[in-house]
Amino acid sequence: MELTKFRRRPTCEVHIGRTTIGGTHPIAVQSMTNTDTNDTAASVVQIERIARAGAPIVRLTAQGRREGENLANIVRQLRADGFDTAVVADIHFVPEVASIAARYVDKVRINPGNYRTDHGELEALIEQCRERGVALRIGVNHGSLSKRIFDRWGDTPEGMVAAAMEFLRVCRERSFDQVVVSMKSSNTRVMVAAYRLLVEAMDAEGMHYPIHLGVTEAGNGLEGRVKSAVGIGALLADGIGDTIRVSLTEAPENEVPVAQLLVDHFASRPGEFEVLHPERYSPTAYRRRSHVTVPVVHSEPHEGFRILEATSGNPTAELRAAILSLDDAEADVPVLIRRRYEEPTLEHLAVKAAADLGPLLLDGLADGLWIDAPGYSEETIRDVELMILQAARVRFSRTEYIACPSCGRTLYDIEKTLERIKSRTGHLKNLRIGVMGCIVNGPGEMADADYGYVGAGPGRITLYKGREVVERNIPQEEALDRLIELIKAHGDWIDPPADVR
């Protein structure tokens, strides 16, 4: 028997400009611009919109030296306008740009997949950051592991952890503790497993760096919010996370209230629950607890299911404890988890239910869910329940869009393009379509997609079938039709219902 309750994992404090994360500080929310970093005016205006929405930290891409240098102008104008928003530079491919950006910003994010430790570059960057009081984020992406890591580990959570720990050990050797670490993936199961494994690895070596949470390429609309809430909620329920970003293919300021909703939802979780047989639950390995292969929603037949209802302010812990407390005779009985919600908006309902119930499905502890929500139609609730099952990757009932939120590297209007693609393909079943703004993370992050639509240059698109390039540099005005032709050619197309043609 043991007791479990919601509590934050202890971490050291990291100062990002005037914002401090870790320690006893509240979880900070953040977002990222999608403007051209060379466009000072547009970038400043967007940062200020994000700041007014409530995010104290904003990230910009700096893919080249010119963008790195222009960060000076952006920060100068932002401060002149009276904003003390922490500015973060996102670096890919060119290590020299990190040292340029570190002269001007409050934090530099580097990707171990595109940055080397064997030429003294990381050590030099650490010393530069130390001198100016700049924080460093070690940001591992599932889709962009280095060849050396990939050849040994594959694109696995273990490989992601190996990449991060290699860089974190260098930081520790240099006695540099102003470090944040992230382990992002568009696959919620991979993302959650990677973060949990990372925490185990860091704890084993006495590291207490703050954690940045996020699900990459979550998409847009209610589905994007639900997917983010399942992944981020699973980790917040474990007490993991010091800053979060909800990545949506929408205007970046739209991300902030969703992230803040999650933070507030977990901020004061009460409760302490007995957990029997904790060995049945592994924090790093998915397992099903019963013979049910297709989890159900409450409007479907569920005879023979054990219904467990959460009534406390900590539903995830309460339900987990109840499931793990089942005696041996009930151990294989399928479980349907239930919670009542009286939320004023569908977005609040969906995000909270996904964060509360999704983790139990993600971990294989439940076999169905029941959202009891007066005031919403049966059809609406069923739709949310199916979204949660899909986000937890236990049942696929609709097309899944792995769509990046866009940034200054994006080569086309991804928001409008995603809507056009969804309008033409949303009726398809059990397909994953990647819609990516550029090639930096695109091909890697959509590695488990069936089809991919990736920006290859201004006005040009490259199409993928799985990981293989099918057509390169297609004019964008032709790309959607060519994508549909590709889907048809592989037998995955069905005609839409007559009322949506």
User: What is the topology classification, in CATH, of domain 400-500?
Assistant: Sulfite Reductase Hemoprotein; domain 1 (3.30.413)
CA dist 424 and 486 (Å) reads: 13
pLDDT at position 441 over 60: no
* Residue written as token pair 């130390």: 130
Residue 375 has a CB neighbour count (10 Å cut-off) of 11
Q: Which amino acid is at 317?
A: A
Give 334's contacts (C-beta < 8 A, 6+ positions apart).
290, 291, 292, 302, 304, 305, 306, 367, 368
pLDDT tens readout for residues 365-379 = 999 999 999 989 999
Residue 45 has a CB neighbour count (10 Å cut-off) of 15
Question: Sign of the C-alpha dihedral, residues 35, 187, 265, 208?
Answer: negative
pLDDT tens readout for residues 234-246 = 999 999 999 999 9
Share of residues in the chain with pLDDT > 90 (%) = 58
pLDDT at position 488 over 80: yes
Share of residues in the chain with pLDDT > 70 (%) = 91
What does the block give as tokens for 432? 């994953």
pLDDT tens readout for residues 60-108 = 999 899 999 999 999 999 999 999 999 999 997 788 899 999 999 999 9
pLDDT tens readout for residues 376-424 = 999 999 999 999 999 999 998 888 887 766 665 666 677 788 888 888 8
CA dist 250 and 231 (Å) reads: 19
Q: What DSSP character marks residue 480?
A: H
CA dist 184 and 445 (Å) reads: 9
pLDDT at position 289 over 60: yes
Pair type for strands 135-141 and 179-184: parallel
Q: What is the pTM of this model?
A: 0.90
Residue bearing the bigger pLDDT, 457 or 48? 48
pLDDT band at 445 (very low <50, low <70, confident <90, very high): low
Q: What is the mean pLDDT of the chain?
A: 88
Q: By CB neighbour count within 10 A (0-12 exposed, 13-18 middle, 19+ buried), where does 494 fall? A: exposed
Q: Which architecture does CATH list for 11-267?
A: Alpha-Beta Barrel (3.20)
Gap between the terminal Cα atoms of the chain: 58
Helix axes 188-204, 221-237, angle to 10 degrees: 20
pLDDT at position 498 over 70: no
Task: Output phi, psi for 82, to 5 deg.
Answer: 90, 15
- Residue-wise DSSP of 166-217: HHHHHHHHTT---EEEEEEBSSHHHHHHHHHHHHHHHHHTT----BEE-BTT
Residue bearing the bigger pLDDT, 449 or 346? 346
Helix axes 315-324, 346-362, angle to 10 degrees: 30
Average pLDDT over residues 15-37: 95
Residue 327 has a CB neighbour count (10 Å cut-off) of 8
Average pLDDT over residues 214-236: 91
> With contact defined as beta carbons under 8 Å apart, do 452 and 446 qualify?
yes
pLDDT tens readout for residues 34-63 = 999 999 999 999 999 999 999 999 999 998
Q: Which amino acid is at 135?
A: A
Map residue 26 onto helix, strand or coil.
Answer: coil
Average pLDDT over residues 122-133: 95
* CA 63 vs CA 86, 92, 145, 438: distances in Å: 19, 6, 18, 12
What does the block give as tokens for 323? 């499931």
Map residue 425 onto helix, strand or coil.
Answer: helix
Position 439 scores a pLDDT of 61
Among 17-26, 126-135, 456-465, whose mean pLDDT is lowest? 456-465
Beta bridge partners of 463: 453, 471
CA dist 150 and 163 (Å) reads: 10
Where in the chain are the domains? 11-267, 273-391, 400-500
CA dist 330 and 316 (Å) reads: 20
Q: Which amino acid is at 403?
A: A
